[in-house]
Structure 1
Amino acid sequence: MIKIENITKKFGSQIILNNINLNIQDSQKLLIMGQNGAGKSTLMKVILGEIICDNGSISIDGIDPIKDRKNALKYLSFVPQTPPPLRLSVSDLCHYCVSSTKANLNDIISYLKELDLEYKKEYKKPFYKLSGGMKQKVLIALALARESKTIMFDEPTANLDPKAREKFMDILNSKFQSHTLIFISHRVSEVKGIVNRIVEMDLGNIIKDNKANNE
């Protein structure tokens, strides 16, 4: 369970998160919506322990991601909206993931194949030289292979073609029903068959918190 209590974050005089309270239950499928600047990505970074807030607290299964980030991140995987410019080869990146987490290389390769990316054809290429769609597929495969209890996605299908988007959703529906999934996405139609809760943010506030129609 992720428990967020009275989180406030300011940058200068601008309030980015305004007294946010949010509990995310195990196995929940949550969509966070809102316009640019609503605070969605900042909230993700707070959960990941990347940002220290001015007020409030957060715990992931009782662990504070600021005070004990290493242990908190054992429960989390994250797919960012913008792939980092990593100079590692695809192979090195995959092996680093395997060595630092519980991921299995065969699982990574299998997820890549399901997303129509052949590891044997691409493994020697530097990650930063891949196309946007290929980078996204690699990051998705790495996150899924970790088998983390909670997986967070920031616009995960933005760089994928329609076929890959469909396959990505099929993987989540077939293999990750017991996981907690948190999405930031403007493509509501793509995730509406998965999510069972929708939170809408605006200017750092939660303005709606509804159960989705499929629950």
Structure 2
Amino acid sequence: MLKIENISKRLGKEQILKDVSFEVSPGEVFGFLGPNGAGKTTTIRIITGLLEQDAGKVTVNGFDVVEERSKALTQIGAIVENPAFYPYLTGKQNLVHAKNLIPGLGQVDYDALARLVGLEGKLSKKVGEYSLGMKQRLGIARALLHNPRVLILDEPTNGLDPSGIAELREYLRQMAREQDIAILISSHMLSEMEQISDRYAIIDQGVIKSVESVRNETGAKIALRVNAEAMTEVLDALRVANYPSEVLENKIIITAPESECPAIARLVVPIADLHELTVKRLTLEEQFLQVTKKEGDSHAFAHTK
């Protein structure tokens, strides 16, 4: 649905994006993560046609954002941070105003739209009386007026309380699944992205460092406990087999997909007594830190909190 292929962008002398590639499929919630200044906003500006890339290609539902700009942009709905509305108008009046600004847009079923975003029975209230969570939902309704196939949300949980975040999370996952919409969420709130996203991309210094499934097995630590006298031989065997490993609290810790456990066990058993083999999957925050940690900098994540 949304396909970014090798896009690069330079602003002045600074290379902002370098060969950025990822895809977002229909029905998927895709997290776009990175520290401040990593290139998230520039990428979103390119996707939405506000900025043209120097190289590469962006297509939305098959339409090239540069070559078929108008067709591509009709496929996209977007909100950036806290959406702004006229507080003295009702929710419906705000939507009608937005609808009138979209050339050629036909009739809109506002009641159906309200049901879709969880504002049923509330569009008659003035927006000045809305909670922040309701304003976020109204912003999504506005982004969906023209029935886009791709929804882009930049920091949608900013300012929401925990209950508002939980409600928005469940609503977005349900909408992606039931409406078959591709949702791209740019955020620095890793714990939230871990709960809402199906997959994610981590960008740092303009480079995509990782594209993973939140629930896959690639981010894992495999812990082995073997007899002490065989420790060195096991470490040597793991090194030869290209399994990165270290010793921590008398255990050998290996960074490898969980699916490698049988192969690792077969490697170790002939040369040592295998007393324990356990797997700990890395949290999204741990994976983020792992791929964005800079040489001599142990605070790569500090800017994102």
For the aligned pair, the TM-score class normalised by the smaller chain equals 0.7 to 0.9
CA distance in 1, matches of 2:131, 2:196: 27
CA distance in 1, matches of 2:137, 2:12: 36
CA distance in 2, matches of 1:184, 1:58: 17
Partner of 1:188: 190
Partner of 2:200: 198
**Residues 85 and 94 of structure 2 are in contact (CA less than 8 Å); yes or no, is this contact kept in structure 1?**
no
Partner of 2:230: none
Q: Which structure is larger by alpha-carbon Rg, 1 or 2?
A: 2
5 Å matches for 1:159-178?
159-177=159-177, 178=180
CA distance in 2, matches of 1:86, 1:9: 35
Question: What RMSD in Å do the two structures reach over aligned CA positions?
Answer: 3.0
**Residues 94 and 108 of structure 1 are in contact (CA less than 8 Å); yes or no, is this contact kept in structure 2?**
no
CA distance in 2, matches of 1:174, 1:62: 24
Which has the higher relative contact order, 1 or 2, with Cα contacts under 8 A spaced 6 or more apart? 1
Q: Which amino acid aligns with 2:209?
A: I
The CA deviation at 1:108 is 3.9
What is the DSSP-based 3-state SS (H/G/I as helix, E as strand, rest coil) of the residue aligned with 1:159? coil
The CA deviation at 1:46 is 0.8
Percent identical residues: 27
What is the DSSP-based 3-state SS (H/G/I as helix, E as strand, rest coil) of the residue aligned with 2:96? helix
**Residues 32 and 202 of structure 2 are in contact (CA less than 8 Å); yes or no, is this contact kept in structure 1?**
yes
**Residues 136 and 160 of structure 1 are in contact (CA less than 8 Å); yes or no, is this contact kept in structure 2?**
no
CA separation of 1:69 and 1:92: change in aligned 2, threshold 3 A: farther
**Higher deviation after alignment, 138-147 or 114-123:** 114-123
CA distance in 1, matches of 2:50, 2:192: 28
Q: Please state if 1:23 is matched with 2:29.
A: no
Aligned residues: 210
5 Å matches for 1:1-215?
1-84=1-84, 89=89, 90-99=91-100, 100=102, 101=105, 103-110=108-115, 114=118, 118-122=122-126, 135-144=135-144, 146-177=146-177, 178-213=180-215
CA distance in 2, matches of 1:104, 1:191: 31
What is the DSSP-based 3-state SS (H/G/I as helix, E as strand, rest coil) of the residue aligned with 1:176? helix
Q: Normalising by structure 1, what TM-score?
A: 0.81
**Higher deviation after alignment, 195-204 or 93-102:** 93-102
CA separation of 1:61 and 1:91: change in aligned 2, threshold 3 A: closer
**Residues 39 and 201 of structure 1 are in contact (CA less than 8 Å); yes or no, is this contact kept in structure 2?**
yes
**Higher deviation after alignment, 24-33 or 41-50:** 24-33
CA distance in 2, matches of 1:115, 1:85: 15
Per-residue CA deviation, residues 66-94 of structure 1 (Å, 9 max, x unaligned), is 23322112221112125357799454430
CA separation of 1:8 and 1:82: change in aligned 2, threshold 3 A: farther
Partner of 2:281: none
The CA deviation at 1:204 is 0.6
Q: Which amino acid aligns with 1:29?
A: V
Structure 2 unaligned runs (5+)? 218-305
**Residues 33 and 200 of structure 1 are in contact (CA less than 8 Å); yes or no, is this contact kept in structure 2?**
yes
CA distance in 2, matches of 1:131, 1:175: 21
